[in-house]
């Protein structure tokens, strides 16, 4: 498609303004609608006459959030806890005898009762 294609429903050929054909009795219906608008104070003539006043009393008091405040740890002198480096964890048991590498570099622990040859054959199968 070229850059000049039209959006569905939109046509550059049908952009002429057409006069609306009004049915019989349209004037009476329009008069009734204007009366209905005037009875509710919504007619455009009535809306122009209304002077909109800025409600100044709403903005005189500043908004304050009502939440409890808690002291932060930075402001208090009560600093407890250790920041020393943790000791590395090492396996101290005797069940695991080694590590085997499976497919896609998946490392698996080899137990005491298993044969490491099984893991070596599994890589090739």
- For residues 53-71, give the mean pLDDT: 68
Instruction: Please give the structure tokens belonging to residue 92.
Output: 């101290």
pTM greater than 0.85: no
For residue range 64-97, what is the model confidence (pLDDT) as tens digits? 778 887 776 665 566 667 778 888 888 888 888 8
| SS3 label, residue 26 | helix
- Residue boundaries of the structural domains of the chain: 27-59
Q: For the residues 96-105, what does the mean pLDDT come to? A: 82
Contact 99, 108 (CB under 8 A): yes
CA dist., res. 89 & res. 80, Å (int)? 24
Let me know the angle formed at the C-alpha of 105 by 114 and 117, rounded to the nearest 5 degrees: 25
Instruction: Give 38-50 pLDDT, tens digit per residue.
Output: 999 888 888 877 7
Instruction: Flag whether pLDDT at 12 surpasses 70.
Output: no
């Amino acid at each position: 498609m070229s850059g000049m294609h039209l959006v569905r429903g939109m046509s550059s050929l049908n952009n002429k303004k057409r006069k609306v054909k009004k049915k019989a009795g349209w004037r009476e219906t329009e008069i009734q609608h204007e009366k209905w608008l005037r009875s509710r104070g919504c007619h455009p003539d009535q809306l122009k006459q209304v002077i909109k006043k800025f409600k100044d009393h709403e903005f005189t008091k500043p908004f304050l959030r009502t939440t409890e405040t808690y002291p932060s740890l930075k402001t208090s002198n009560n600093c407890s806890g250790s920041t020393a480096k943790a000791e590395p964890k090492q396996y101290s048991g005797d069940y695991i005898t080694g590590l085997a590498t499976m497919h896609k570099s998946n490392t698996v622990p080899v137990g005491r009762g298993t044969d490491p040859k099984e893991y070596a054959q599994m890589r090739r199968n």
